[in-house]
Amino acid sequence: MTDLLTIDDLRVSYPVRGLRARPVPVLREISLTVRRGETLGLVGESGSGKTTLGRAVLGLVPVESGRIVFAGERIDNASRRRRRRLGADLQVVFQDPYSSLNPARTIGDTLTEPLLAGGTDARAARRRVGELLDGVGLPADAAHRLPREFSGGQRQRVAIARALALEPALVVCDEAVSALDLTTRKTVLDLLLEIQERTGVAYLFITHDLSVVRYTCHRIAVLRDGRIVETGDAAAVTAEPSHPYTRSLLLAAPVADVRRQRERRTAFEADRRSRTPQPKTSAER
């Protein structure tokens, strides 16, 4: 697989109020790639910088230094006009599907808008909307209904359909399933995998949950305090993480077996103590 997205030595800082206040670094020396047709999981707890990285790729936050190259074109300094044209190839699914959908517009109008803006005629756009709804497992009459008439999982399916309307090469999924219950979450994840297999779309999957990336991702990059601390094959990283921070994230993902969960926590605490320098005894001093 060839590289679709390349991020090289990326740095992002947020301004702070005050004449002499220095900007706060959020991302530091971030370098990674997303290949065509693969899913790269971007994992970290709240405040790690993972959402900022996704927003930098989408052009929603300014880049301090470094490069973002998408499909062979540098986009970290792209103009607004160029960003609008990039929308056909680069899309996003946000965490809260309801807030990303206009409550006063029908689902059909929401899905038709990017198609019409892209030059599709009205009849072809309506036909495409039907295909999109069918592709995400929603009935054709969903086009005539408002977002409030759907469940959270169904609204996220609508958000996925909108992201796929223009057949993008890459979709940034920013905590796309974290607000869903476990059963609905698996259904949506299976849908994303099925769409990827059918269309070859790539995902940058942002989440705090290692169990989710284990299920969906080919590779993983783990962020802590704005830096990548571990990368690798998803199966290997989630089975035997090398960094203590990754191990702590793995422990945070609950398992159904209480006994196994207790064993995992005990093993982690023992490992943490073995890696933490102990104070010297009076005899050793």
Residue 209 maps to which CATH number? 3.40.50.300
Rg (CA), the chain: 21
In this prediction, residue 270 carries a pLDDT of 65
Beta carbons within 8 Å of 188's beta carbon, 6+ residues apart: 153, 156, 157, 160, 176, 177, 180
Residue that has been written with the tokens 């890459």 in this structure: 170
In this prediction, residue 39 carries a pLDDT of 95
CB distance 33 to 7 below 8 Å:
yes
In this prediction, residue 117 carries a pLDDT of 84
Sheet with 39-43, edge to edge strand ranges: 90-93, 170-174, 202-207, 39-43, 219-224, 227-233
Residue type, 266: T
Beta carbons within 8 Å of 119's beta carbon, 6+ residues apart: none
Is 266 inside a domain boundary? Answer: no
In this prediction, residue 275 carries a pLDDT of 53
In this prediction, residue 16 carries a pLDDT of 83
Is 246 inside a domain boundary? Answer: no
Is 257 inside a domain boundary? Answer: no
Tens digit of each residue's pLDDT, the chain (285 residues): 689 999 999 999 988 887 777 888 999 999 999 999 999 999 998 889 999 999 999 999 999 999 999 999 999 988 888 888 888 899 999 888 777 788 899 999 999 988 888 888 888 999 999 999 998 989 888 999 999 998 888 888 999 999 988 899 999 999 888 878 888 888 889 999 999 999 999 999 999 888 888 889 999 999 999 999 999 999 898 888 888 888 888 776 666 556 766 766 676 666 556 655 555 555 555
Is 44 inside a domain boundary? Answer: yes
In this prediction, residue 10 carries a pLDDT of 95
In DSSP notation, 90-108 reads EEEE-S-TTTTS-TTS-HH
In this prediction, residue 37 carries a pLDDT of 94
Tokens of residue 144, six digits: 């005539």
Residue type, 49: G
Is 33 inside a domain boundary? Answer: yes
Is 271 inside a domain boundary? Answer: no
DSSP-assigned letter for residue 9: E
Is 55 inside a domain boundary? Answer: yes
In this prediction, residue 173 carries a pLDDT of 93
DSSP-assigned letter for residue 19: T
Q: Domain range holding 156?
A: 3-13+24-234
State the total domains in the chain: 1
In this prediction, residue 244 carries a pLDDT of 86
CB distance 17 to 28 below 8 Å:
no
Is 239 inside a domain boundary? Answer: no
- With 0.75 as the threshold, say if the pTM is over it: yes
